[in-house]
Amino acid sequence: MAVTSAPDAPAQAATRQIFMSQALHEALDEEMARDPNVFVMGEEVGIWGGAYNVTAGLLEKWGEARIIDTPISEAAIGGAAVGAAVTGCRPVAEFMYSDFMGIAMDQIVNQAAKNRYMFGGAAKLPITYRAPFGAGTGNAAQHTQSLEAWFAHVPGLKVVTCSSPHDAKGLLKSSIREDNVVVFFEHKAIYSMRGPVPEDEYTIPLGLADVKREGSDVSVVTYARQVHYALEAAEQLAGEGIDVEVVDVRTLYPLDVDTILASVNKTNHAVVVYEAARFGGFGAEIASQIQEHGFDDLDAPVLRVAGSHSPIPFSEPLEKGAIPDPERIAAAIRESLQGSR
Least Cα distance to 133 among 89, 82, 170, 185 occurs for 185
Q: What is 201-229 written as a DSSP string? A: -----TT--EEEE--SSEEEEE-TTHHHH
The Cα 171–Cα 203 span in angstroms is: 6
Given 26, 74, 94, 148, the catalytic residue: 74
Q: Is 240 a catalytic residue?
A: no
The Cα 159–Cα 164 span in angstroms is: 17
Pairing of strands 210-213, 244-248: antiparallel
The Cα 12–Cα 255 span in angstroms is: 25
Pairing of strands 218-222, 194-196: unpaired
The Cα 181–Cα 178 span in angstroms is: 7
Please state, in angstroms and as integers, the Cα–Cα distance from residue 85 to each residue in 122, 156, 179, following that order.
12, 14, 9
Least Cα distance to 24 among 210, 206, 164 occurs for 164
Q: Is 187 a catalytic residue?
A: no
Given 25, 143, 166, 228, the catalytic residue: 143
Phi-psi region at 63: left, alpha or beta (left = phi > 0; alpha = psi -120 to 50): left
Residues assigned a catalytic role: 74, 143
